[in-house]
Amino acid sequence: MSGDYNVVAKLSKKSMDYTLFAGYSQREYSKLTDDRQEAFVFTDRVVRRQSTLLDDRVKNNSQYAQLNISNKQDKRLLSGKLSLVHSDSPDNYNRRSLLYDGDKENIESFSNVSQSGWKPNLELYGHWDVTDKQYLETTVVGSYTHNQYRYSYQENDYTVLTDNQEDMYELYAILNYGIQFKHRNALTIQGFHFHTVSSIDYRIGNIPWQHFWEGESMLFLDYTQRFGKKIFLRVCPGFSYIQYRLHHDDRKSKLSPRLRFNVTYTFAPQQQIRLTCPVGSGFLDISQLNTVEQQIDSLQIRRGNLINGYLSKPLLLLLTVGNSGKLLWGRMWLMI
Q: What is the DSSP string of 202-267?
A: E-SSSPPPEEEEEEEEEEEEEEEEEETTTEEEEEEEEEEEEEEEETTS--EEEEEEEEEEEEEEEE
φ, ψ at 225 (rounded to 5°)? -150, 135
Do the Cβ atoms of 291 and 283 come closer than 8 Å? no
Full residue range of the structural domain in which residue 6 is found: 1-117
206 within a domain of the structure (yes/no): no
pLDDT tens profile 287-332: 555 556 666 766 666 665 544 444 444 444 555 555 554 444 455 5
17 within a domain of the structure (yes/no): yes
What is the average pLDDT across 273-288? 66
What is the average pLDDT across 81-95? 93
- pLDDT higher than threshold 70 for residue 149: yes
Residue 87: predicted pLDDT: 94
What is the average pLDDT across 138-166? 91
CB-count exposure of residue 329 (10 Å: 0-12, 13-18, 19+)? exposed
- pLDDT higher than threshold 50 for residue 279: yes
- The number of domains in the chain is 1
Residue 36: predicted pLDDT: 85
What is the average pLDDT across 124-147? 96
φ, ψ at 286 (rounded to 5°)? -65, -30
- pLDDT higher than threshold 90 for residue 139: yes
Residue 160: predicted pLDDT: 86
173 within a domain of the structure (yes/no): no
Residue 144: predicted pLDDT: 96
What is the average pLDDT across 228-239? 90
Residue 123: predicted pLDDT: 98
Q: Has this prediction a pTM greater than 0.95?
A: no
Of 12-26, 75-89, 290-304, 321-335, the least confident = 321-335
300 within a domain of the structure (yes/no): no
- pLDDT higher than threshold 90 for residue 119: yes
5 within a domain of the structure (yes/no): yes
Residue 11: predicted pLDDT: 94
- pLDDT higher than threshold 70 for residue 120: yes
74 within a domain of the structure (yes/no): yes
